[in-house]
Amino acid sequence: MRDITLGGMAKFVDPGVLFDFSSLRRSPDVEAPNLFAFDATDKLILTEAAPSLEERDGGTVAVVGDRYGALTLPVVSVPGSWDVRVHQDLMAGERALDRNAAERSLSGRFRRFPLGKELFDGAGVVLWQLPRSLAELAETADQIARYARPDVKVFAGGRIKHMSMAMNAVLQDSFGDVHAGLARQKSRVLTAATPIRPTAEPAFPERLYHSELGLWVCAYGAAFSGPRLDIGTRYLLEFIDRMKADARHAIDLGCGSGVIAAVLANARPQITVTATDQSAAAVASAAATAEANGLSARISTVQDDAMAGFPTGSAELILLNPPFHLGATVHAGAAVRLFDAAARVLAGGGELWTVYNNHLHYRAQLEERVGPTTVQGQNAKFTVALSIRS
Ligand SMILES: C[S@@+](CC[C@H](N)C(=O)[O-])C[C@H]1O[C@@H](n2cnc3c(N)ncnc32)[C@H](O)[C@@H]1O
């Protein structure tokens, strides 16, 4: 251990103490005064993990769910020689971490892996921003218990308002010791140790057969709504027959499990569909859904942030059930980014079909950003709107 010397005493410093969190940026994710690149949870995870990091210098540290670098960068910026492996589900988070790392000359000090063996193999410490979904929690806990060292220590933190006792129970399925730390600044860290090596195959992707659709839906833990059908999505699917009849290709934007792509491809044997999402779990789920229904030849998947790599003016038909969260914060910016993306990628005369909660009043936004927008249907909760690219 290369110690930092303070006042003549060799001392390992908590990586969260010296790091300047305030200069972290969320960009290219939405930035706004009420949206932050870090919170007290990041610091608390680092503080609680500091003794284990010191003890296991030279070993492997896995970082899961880091949003913009507030877990990874403090660790790689203190003296130490850990092999730091990072998994982030969201592409905007990956880009922000890369950018924040580059600005601090910390690029190349960590490696990225998908959720799985390579990420956790031999890991002695896991730093983890708790997800809100229990399925994602269970999937990740299973992977850690499967592949990390038998003496791994897991520091999983979250905002107390987003935590529940069910999380402890899920962690207890994968770890013999689960302990809740003290609350600090509305955050808490669950520490887990003594992994219980699973003997069964992983439970993910989950698979559910929907008899009303005649289709399987598959989902990894972090995919929106899992393999279940969101009620807004269900409503949008009622309009499939009215969507651009001569479209040869369509885009399922923010595809989640890929259920919209599968229904469209199943209903129209001539069409090809690109299912795209910024979430790695979503894209893997959409590929699994396509495969489970024998539709892989006509459904391709692309992980991308708001279709950044798609050519301008190229799309005939886009279907969208937009997100209403940015991380844990309800924020219209996430949906508006996708409206702008659709406006850029649609060809003139191309159609965007959007479903949204009635109270969101997105029609004016769609009209302004995409083109003439008409409400095609409304039920007690949802509106389906058609925007034609002008
Ligand atoms: C409400 S969910 C809909 C999922 C799926 N289409 C369905 O109907 O079940 C919104 C999806 O948009 C995705 N998303 C959010 N922001 C995105 C972005 N910037 N680029 C691509 N996808 C995004 C989320 O990951 C999520 O899967």
Q: What is the pLDDT of residue 17?
A: 86
List own/partner pairs for 103-107 with CB under 8 A and 24 or more apart.
Answer: 103/23, 104/73, 104/77, 106/73, 106/76, 106/77
Supply angle C-alpha 306, 286, 333, rounded to 5: 25
Ligand 1 atom closest to residue 233's alpha carbon, by position in its atom list = 8
Instruction: With a cut of 90, say whether residue 140 has pLDDT above it.
Output: yes
Task: Give tens-digit pLDDT for 348-371.
Answer: 999 999 999 999 989 999 999 999
Instruction: With a cut of 90, say whether residue 82 has pLDDT above it.
Output: yes
**Residue 210 bridge partners (DSSP):** 215
275, 284, 273: which is closest to 254 by C-alpha?
A: 275
Question: Measured from the CB, is residue 258 less than 6 Å from ligand 1?
Answer: no
CA of 71 to the centre of ligand 1 (A): 25
Tokens representing residue 233 in the block: 């999505």
Question: Measured from the CB, is residue 334 less than 6 Å from ligand 1?
Answer: yes
Instruction: With a cut of 60, say whether residue 5 has pLDDT above it.
Output: no
296, 279, 278: which is closest to 287 by C-alpha?
A: 296
CA 341 to CA 335: how far, in whole Å? 10
Q: What is the pLDDT of residue 16?
A: 80
CA 378 to CA 361: how far, in whole Å? 12
Instruction: With a cut of 70, say whether residue 44 has pLDDT above it.
Output: yes
CA of 76 to the centre of ligand 1 (A): 31
Which of 15-29, 57-71, 86-100, 265-279 comes out lowest in average pLDDT? Answer: 15-29
What is the average pLDDT across 14-43? 90
Question: Measured from the CB, is residue 129 less than 6 Å from ligand 1?
Answer: no
Q: Which of 88, 215, 239, 255 to mutate to test the pocket of ligand 1 (most atoms within 8 A of CB)?
A: 255
CA of 136 to the centre of ligand 1 (A): 16
Q: What is the pLDDT of residue 47?
A: 96
Q: Looking up tokens 């290709």, which residue turns up?
A: 249
Q: What is the pLDDT of residue 325?
A: 62
**Residue 5 bridge partners (DSSP):** 10
- Quick check: 248 and 314 in contact, CB under 8 A? no
Length of the chain, in residues: 390
Q: Is 297 exposed, middle or buried (0-12, 13-18, 19+ CB in 10 A)?
A: exposed
Q: What is the pLDDT of residue 275?
A: 99
Q: What is the pLDDT of residue 30?
A: 82
Question: Measured from the CB, is residue 230 less than 6 Å from ligand 1?
Answer: yes
What is the average pLDDT across 210-239? 98
> 4 falls in which pLDDT band (50, 70, 90)?
very low
Cis bond upstream, residue 205 (ω within 30): yes
> 182 falls in which pLDDT band (50, 70, 90)?
very high
Ligand 1 atom closest to residue 254's alpha carbon, by position in its atom list = 12
Cis bond upstream, residue 28 (ω within 30): yes
CA of 220 to the centre of ligand 1 (A): 14
User: Which amino acid makes up residue 82?
Assistant: W
Cβ–Cβ contacts within 10 Å for residue 282, how many? 26
Which of 32-46, 220-234, 325-339 comes out lowest in average pLDDT? Answer: 325-339
Question: Measured from the CB, is residue 289 less than 6 Å from ligand 1?
Answer: no
Question: Measured from the CB, is residue 301 less than 6 Å from ligand 1?
Answer: no
CA of 144 to the centre of ligand 1 (A): 26
What is the average pLDDT across 54-67? 96
CA 189 to CA 168: how far, in whole Å? 11
Percent of the chain with pLDDT over 90: 88
- Quick check: 196 and 175 in contact, CB under 8 A? yes
What is the average pLDDT across 76-100? 94
Q: Which of 31, 88, 224, 263 to mutate to test the pocket of ligand 1 (most atoms within 8 A of CB)?
A: 224
* Residue-range domains of the chain with CATH: 4-195 (3.40.50.150), 206-388 (3.40.50.150)
Pick 77 or 5 by higher pLDDT: 77
3-state secondary structure the chain: CCCEEECCEEECCCHHHHCCHHHCCCCCCCCCCCCCCCCHHHHHHHHHHHHHHHHCCCCEEEEECCCCCCCHHHHHHCCCCCEEEEECCEHHHHHHHHHHHHHCCCCCCCEECCCCHHHHCCEEEEEEECCCCHHHHHHHHHHHHHHCCCCCEEEEEEEHHHCCHHHHHHHHHHEEEEEECCCECCEEEEEEEEECCCCCCCCCCEEEEECCCCEEEEECCCCCCCCCCCHHHHHHHCCHHHCCCCCCEEEEECCCCCHHHHHHHHHCCCCEEEEEECEHHHHHHHHHHHHHCCCCCCEEEEECCCCCCCCCCCEEEEEECCCCEECCEECCHHHHHHHHHHHHHEEEEEEEEEEEEHHHCCHHHHHHHCCCEEEEEECCCEEEEEEECC
CA of 13 to the centre of ligand 1 (A): 39
CA of 334 to the centre of ligand 1 (A): 9
Question: Measured from the CB, is residue 56 less than 6 Å from ligand 1?
Answer: no
Q: Is 372 exposed, middle or buried (0-12, 13-18, 19+ CB in 10 A)?
A: exposed
Task: Give tens-digit pLDDT for 239-257.
Answer: 999 999 999 999 999 999 9
What is the average pLDDT across 262-287? 98
Q: What is the pLDDT of residue 187?
A: 97
Task: Give tens-digit pLDDT for 102-114.
Answer: 999 999 999 999 9
Q: Whose alpha carbon is nearest atom 4 of ligand 1?
A: 256
